[in-house]
Amino acid sequence: MSWMFKLRGTLTKTQSLILGIIGVLIFLLIWFLLTMGEQPFIPPAILPSPGKVFAAYPKLITQSNLIKNTCFSIGLNLAGYVQAILISILVGFSVGLFPLFRGLFRNHIDSIRFIPLAAVTGIFIKWYGIDVSMKVAFLATGIIIYLLPVIVQRIDEVKDVYLKTVYTLGASNWWTIKTVYLPSVLSRLFDDIRILTAISWTYIIVVETINANGGGIGSLIYNARRFARMDELFALIILIIGIGIIQDQIFKYLDKEFFPHKYQIKNKYSSEIKPPSLLESIWDFGFMILVWILLLGYFVLLLAEFTNILGGSRPLTELFGGTLWVIHFIFISIVIYKIKKLIDQRTAKKQITHAGV
């Protein structure tokens, strides 16, 4: 048990999972003790009991259309992220790699981080109105403000040894970007993007209070706060935390899928790559099955958009509304990636077979 108190010690996935569950149980116990009884230590008007908070979910689902509002907020989050990442990579690489753009815009990129975005919502309303397009633009801008300087910094952190190697081999500028800058920057940038998901949810709640009738978890929080429904307010906050944890795990899985070299741990007493633990293997397999289930579900719902297989219902449009395009973009990207990966695996097998012959 000494590993528990070892300075800067590392935990296995199993140990982290067990301690995480224990931590949640301790938190719930403390919460229950502080709110139990007719005269609790903390009044219900300030902190409702866990039972009341979790009992609020059925009411939110039936009366406040929680599922649709949650999907709308998730779609908004994804739409803002896709736009922000594409714009940030294009602008960030231009500023980070080319002296002309660096001289023109580097200082400006650093300074825009200090803009209080919540204070300029009026500008976005004037430009885009109060519909989905304004909310996506607001969220994308909020992410770009933090992401752009990070990309330029990651470009500056690329090691000279890699650049000198490709230059020695006679690589062109494009080949240098493709083989050195893109892999190095994107592998580090993925961690930065994952961290920024917390900030994006803050901006979502801010922007969804504008035109609260437009839907989203933010509008539900606005109404719960307005009518002092503390049980619903805490239930919605817990829901956002849960979505954030799931998003974080998805980003970790994608990071491991796209950049497996970051997770290759060598054995202590040899140079061999340490194989994944049983828990990690089960987790990865479960995630893979989940991806295929989601793909199958998406194609069924996509078919329902153009046929009457679900009685004329169009669930994707009803759930995601104006952010449906990003759902299509993500699932089409997954299909393309899976096909490319399958082709690469078959090509590699053929090369090994020919080499063996």
CATH of the domain at 74: 1.10.3720.10
Rounded Cα–Cα distance for residues 49 and 159 (Å): 53
Please say which residue of 232, 266, 300 terminates a domain.
266
pLDDT in the model for residue 70: 92
Instruction: Say if residue 266's pLDDT is above 70.
Output: no
Residue range 289-334, pLDDT digits in tens: 888 888 888 898 888 888 888 877 888 888 888 888 898 898 888 8
Q: Do 259 and 119 have their domain in common? A: yes
The band of 275, judged by pLDDT with boundaries at 50, 70 and 90, is low
158 in any annotated domain: yes
Note the pLDDT of residue 273.
Answer: 57
Q: Determine the average pLDDT of the residues in 238-257.
A: 85
**pLDDT-wise least confident of 29-33, 150-154, 194-198, 238-242:** 194-198
Q: What is the pLDDT of residue 235?
A: 92
260 lies in the same domain as 117: yes
Per-residue tokens: 233: 């307010």
Specify the pLDDT at position 260.
76
Which of the listed residues 235, 266, 297 is the one where a domain comes to its end? 266
Extended strands (E) in the chain: none
Task: Tell me, yes or no, whether 84 and 125 share the same domain.
Answer: yes
Same domain, 206 and 102: yes
Asked if 192 and 329 sit in the same domain, the reply is no
248 contact partners, CB below 8 Å, separation of at least 6: 194, 197
Q: What is the mean pLDDT of residues 174-185?
A: 83
Is 17 among the domain residues? no
Residue 203 pLDDT grade (very low, low, confident, very high; cuts 50, 70, 90)? confident
pTM, entire model: 0.83
Instruction: Verify that 302 and 242 share a domain, yes or no.
Output: no
Residue 52 has pLDDT above 70, yes or no: yes
Which of 200, 232, 266 finishes a domain?
Answer: 266
* Same domain flag for 248 and 283: no
Residues 6+ apart with CB under 8 A from 129: none
Number of domains comprising the chain: 2
216 and 347 share a domain? no
In a domain, 16, yes or no: no
- pLDDT reported for residue 239: 92
Let me know whether 345 and 235 are in one domain: no
Kindly report, residue by residue over 336-350, the tens digit of the pLDDT: 888 888 888 888 777
Site of tokens 């994944």? 276
Handedness of CA 46, 49, 50, 52 (dihedral sign): negative
Residues 227 and 297 both lie in one domain: no
**Quick check: is 36 in a domain?**
no
Domain that holds residue 318: 279-357
Q: How many CB atoms are located within 10 Å of the residue 66 CB?
A: 21
- Of 160, 150, 234, 131, the residue nearest 192 (C-alpha): 150
- Same domain? For 72 and 217 the reply is yes
Nearest to residue 283, comparing CAs of 261, 244, 257, 265? 257
Residue 13 lies in a domain: no
Same domain assignment for residues 193 and 52: yes
pLDDT at res. 46: 85
